[in-house]
């Protein structure tokens, strides 16, 4: 049994904020943000938009593109660090919004690596016969947990949601043929929040040692790519599309240069979406045509540290 990709969907908040429209008190500039990150704009959730509303819209979009009735879905995983409530899980609220009353629904907290953690988890459910049709959703409203007085973090993040539908298939040479996830908690302090439910009774704000996170992101995602290629007896030339986590264009450029991959095969959406954490990979997948692709590689790295790599054969 294998998990095949059936469809992809996405949802973005209505409001788009250009670098030049960021609050004046931040003492930043379009030039600095573009040069240091590649980000030109981000979408910011309005009062009527939340992680669950965006996740629901992305899920509906993916289901309608795949022509799948919601009642077929028996597993919903929402990958997020910015869920609507402490509990219940955002996934159960998405389930309710979709009108589904059976199956399994839960959230995964692995920060920016959440989506690959979600794919791996859904794949395990499918391979062991516990699910046949899974919605894996990356959804975030990081605008609600960044410190809007800290220019070194708030300019980097955006809100949005992306969703994929995975189905059980007997076809072993297609689908999620390889997926590995990793963690190293000794690096937790490099990217964290200033609080949390049990520590401060609030969510706290994003706090990051940018340079160290940058260095680790390049090293770990490059290593992930090399391991994936080796394990699947592939070279960079066999990769049709690389969809890396969208945090900083310079991180991606470094990985591409180190690996010798043709830059034209790399999907970049951070210019439009900024860093949407767990939503960045499915949002990026939704932006490209997968029609002529056979081998799609996904790479992520996030707080924890957590990281992961996946090979989707289409
Ligand atoms: O999703 C996974 C987690 N996130 C990441 O992967 C992000 C990883 N890190 C990065 O992308 C980069 O480290 C940043 C974009 C966060 C920072 O870029 P950098 O080239 O490492 O800059 P820096 O932190 O070394 O700061 C350089 C200068 C500093 O000024 P001084 O001390 O040299 O005078 C900062 O205060 O840039 C200043 N600076 C800014 N200036 C204008 C920091 N943020 C800004 C800003 N606008 N928004």
The string of DSSP letters for 238-299 reads G-SEEEE--S-HHHHHHHHHHHT--GGGB---HHHH-B-GGGHHHHHHHHS--TT-SEEEEE
Q: What is the pLDDT of residue 165?
A: 98
| Domain limits, the chain | 2-169, 175-313
Closest-lying ligand 1 atom to the alpha carbon of residue 152: 44
In terms of Cα–Cα distance, which of 13, 61, 50 is closest to 285? 61
28 CB within 6 A, ligand 1: yes
247 CB within 6 A, ligand 1: yes
Active site residue 171: no
Residues in the chain: 314
Q: Tell me which H or E stretch contains 16.
A: strand 15-18
Per annotation, catalytic residue among 19, 61, 112, 222: 112
57 CB within 6 A, ligand 1: no
253 CB within 6 A, ligand 1: no
Output the CA–CA distances (angstroms, integers) from residue 63 to 6, 8, 56, 57, in the order listed: 9, 8, 10, 10
Other CB atoms within 10 A of residue 242 CB: 23
* pLDDT tens digits for range 198-208: 999 999 999 99
Q: The domain at 2-169 falls in which architecture?
A: 3-Layer(aba) Sandwich (3.40)
148 CB within 6 A, ligand 1: no
pTM over 0.85: yes
36 CB within 6 A, ligand 1: yes
Q: What is the pLDDT of residue 149?
A: 97
Closest-lying ligand 1 atom to the alpha carbon of residue 151: 48
Does a cis peptide bond (omega within 30 degrees of 0) precede residue 117? Answer: no
**Above pLDDT 70, what percent of the chain?**
100
Per annotation, catalytic residue among 245, 248, 273, 295: 245
SS3 state at 3: strand
Identify the segments of the chain with pLDDT beneath 70.
Answer: none
302 CB within 6 A, ligand 1: yes
Instruction: Output the CA torsion 196→104→279→242 (10° steps).
Output: 130
CATH class of segment(s) 175-313: alpha beta
Kindly tell me the burial class for residue 91, based on how many C-beta atoms sit within 10 Å of its own C-beta (0-12, 13-18, 19 or more). Answer: buried
Closest-lying ligand 1 atom to the alpha carbon of residue 112: 1
Q: What is the pLDDT of residue 136?
A: 99
Q: What is the pLDDT of residue 172?
A: 83
SS3 state at 218: helix
Distance CA 89, CA 238 (A): 39
Q: What is the pLDDT of residue 4?
A: 98
Contact 243, 269 (CB under 8 A): no
From the CA of 217, how far away is ligand 1's center (Å)? 14
Per annotation, catalytic residue among 2, 61, 275, 286: 275
Q: What is the pLDDT of residue 280?
A: 98
248 CB within 6 A, ligand 1: yes
- Atom 16 of ligand 1, residue of closest alpha carbon: 210
Distance CA 204, CA 207 (A): 9
CA 246, 247, 251, 253 torsion-angle sign: positive
Active site residue 79: no
Contact 286, 115 (CB under 8 A): no
Other CB atoms within 10 A of residue 1 CB: 14
- Atom 28 of ligand 1, residue of closest alpha carbon: 152
């Amino acid at each position: 049994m294998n998990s095949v990709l059936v469809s992809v969907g996405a949802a973005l908040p209505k409001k788009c904020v250009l670098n030049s429209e960021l609050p004046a008190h931040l003492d930043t500039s379009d030039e600095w943000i573009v040069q240091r990150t590649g980000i030109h704009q981000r979408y910011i959730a309005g009062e009527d938009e939340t992680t669950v509303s965006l996740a629901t819209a992305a899920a509906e979009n993916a289901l309608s593109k795949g022509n799948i009735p919601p009642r077929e879905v028996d597993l919903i995983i929402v990958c997020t660090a910015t869920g609507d409530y402490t509990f219940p899980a955002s996934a159960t609220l998405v389930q309710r919004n979709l009108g589904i009353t059976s199956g399994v629904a839960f959230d995964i907290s692995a920060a920016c690596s959440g989506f690959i953690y979600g794919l791996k988890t859904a794949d395990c459910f499918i391979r062991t016969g516990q699910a046949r049709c899974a919605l894996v959703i990356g959804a975030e409203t990081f605008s609600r947990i960044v410190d809007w007085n800290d220019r070194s973090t708030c300019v980097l993040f955006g809100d949005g949601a992306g969703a994929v539908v995975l189905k059980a298939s007997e076809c072993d040479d297609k689908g999620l043929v390889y997926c590995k996830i990793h963690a190293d908690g000794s690096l937790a302090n490099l990217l964290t929040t200033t609080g949390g439910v049990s520590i401060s009774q609030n969510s706290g704000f994003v706090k990051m040692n940018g340079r160290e996170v940058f260095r680790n992101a390049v090293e770990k995602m490059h290593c992930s790519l090399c391991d994936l290629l080796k394990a699947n007896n592939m070279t960079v030339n066999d990769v049709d599309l690389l969809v890396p986590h969208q945090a900083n264009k310079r991180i991606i450029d470094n990985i591409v240069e180190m690996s010798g991959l043709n830059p034209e095969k790399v999907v970049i959406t951070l210019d439009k979406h900024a860093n949407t954490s767990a939503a960045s990979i499915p949002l990026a997948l939704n932006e490209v045509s997968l029609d002529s692709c056979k081998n799609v590689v996904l790479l992520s790295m996030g707080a924890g540290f957590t990281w992961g790599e996946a090979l989707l054969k289409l």
